[in-house]
Amino acid sequence: MTIRSRILIFFTSVWFIAAAACIARLAFAYDQQRKIPHQVLATVPFDQEAGNIAFALSQGNGFSNLFRQSTGPTAWLAPAYPFLLSRVFSLFGPFSISSFFAAIFLNIIFSAAVVFPLFHLARRVAGHAVAATSAWMWALLPAGIIMPFEWIWDTSLSVLLATTILYFTLRISESAKLTLWLSYAILWAVAMLTNPSLAIALPFLLFWAAVRARDVASISWRAPLLSLTVIVLCCLPWTIRNYQNFHRFIPIRSSLQFELWIGNNDIFDEHAVHRPQVITRFEETRHYAQVGENAFLAEKWQLASSFIRQKPSLFFRLTGRKIIATWIGTEHPFRDFRRADSLLVRVVIVCNLLLTLGTLLGIFVLARAKSPFTFPIAIFPLLFPLVHYVTHTSLRYRHPIDPMLVFLTAVASCRCFSRFSTSRIHQM
């Protein structure tokens, strides 16, 4: 083996790329924390719903006190990440710089670990060259580097879970091992208890895997049905807990009504009689504390649904703007690109534009090559953002599907630069 071959093998090793991804994220976090006072980092990043619930848990008050007031139990968020963050508080102290660094380090590990399922998924579908390209693109993607530091939330964990789910979907579609199917079910349950939005793809991925496994591995419907049962049973205790506390059916989290209202209210209507100038967190927190979670959310549902019924044309215009913002990062990409005073902002806008185009072209390349994996790989990008189109959006909400966009862009890029041939796609 030549030296050149050894160097190439080294630089396309999944472990080397994962290490590079981790270093890039650590370097960004180190640079950012030098610029911000540590007393700010110890408190402000936790001043949100996940941090408040985690604090209540660490103090023995249960899953409660959404806005750090004594407002009782909440179902506003899925339970997994607040419970994880509460363990950080228990070990390093609530609202401390040590807890901040520990939470950021966990986010970085989650984000860097995405390299492994992404690499193996890409290699299974399109070969080693696309796998290495996908992994390096994820390792150096600006959003992937920035998000672990910017958001102490379930975002980075959701990215890892979504990518791992897609990889395991391909694996179980060729396997009759019941243990693998049950592991897949547990993975789905953890994902849903972390970020319920991921569940939008569950019926499609599970059905596709079951149909393909019947052809490839000759399995019966027993394994898929048992997997679905395990998913339901794993989520059932939290649903029962929610019913006991709120006396209504809340599968995992309750805040959809509020999210719908945030993106559909009279602040967007210049001609509204009682148009608010701004929605303040203080006012919403005060109102929530006064009426309780059930009444608060019921009111937001009534306001949002009335807005949509009475102003359908505005609703559709807002939806169009949110679709653009979901994929490009801003509702007005060309204007904001010109006006941006930060090179990083411009880089993020350009990267999102390229990822969007690359995703569309990558799906086309896989479909044209008649890859059997086109459907499951395309389904996440197509379905996952739907709820944010009608509620409200940001790049943080889209982030869980970014590795899939990266892979599809890598497929398109390698095809365009003649390093990828449709014959390299496995025909199964």
Q: What token pair was written down for 329?
A: 């990062």
Whether 173 and 212 have beta carbons less than 8 Å apart is answered as: yes
Pairwise CA distance, residues 250 & 239, whole Å? 6
Question: Which residue type occupies 344?
Answer: L
What is the structure's pLDDT at 388? 94
Q: What token pair was written down for 422?
A: 């449709």
Query: Which residues make beta-bridge pairs with 405?
Result: none
How many domains are there within the chain? 1
H helical segments located in 173-328: 178-194, 202-216, 222-246, 256-263, 281-291, 293-310, 312-328
Place of tokens 């003649």: 418
What is the structure's pLDDT at 420? 43
What is the structure's pLDDT at 401? 96
Q: Which residues have a Cβ under 8 Å from the Cβ of 355 and sit 6 or more positions away?
A: 327, 402, 405, 406, 409
Q: Contacts from 205-208 at CB under 8 Å and sequence distance 24+?
A: 205/165, 205/166, 205/169, 205/376, 205/379, 208/169, 208/173, 208/375, 208/376, 208/379
Domain interval for residue 215? 3-424
pLDDT tens series, the chain, 428 aa:
677 777 777 788 999 999 999 999 999 999 999 999 999 999 999 999 999 999 999 999 999 999 888 899 999 999 999 999 999 999 999 999 999 999 999 999 999 999 999 999 999 999 999 999 999 999 999 999 999 999 999 999 999 999 999 999 999 999 889 999 999 999 999 999 999 999 999 999 999 999 999 888 888 888 899 999 999 999 999 999 999 999 999 999 999 999 999 999 988 877 766 666 667 778 888 899 999 999 999 999 999 999 999 999 999 999 999 999 999 989 888 898 888 888 888 999 999 999 999 999 999 999 998 999 999 999 989 999 999 999 999 889 999 999 999 999 999 988 877 544 444 444 43
Helix axes 155-172, 142-150, angle to 10 degrees: 130
Burial of 222 (0-12, 13-18, 19+ CB in 10 A): exposed
For 26, phi and psi rounded to 5 degrees?
A: -65, -40
Q: What is the 3-state secondary structure (H, E, C) of 352-371?
A: HHHHHHHHHHHHHHHHHCCC
Pairwise CA distance, residues 244 & 222, whole Å? 32
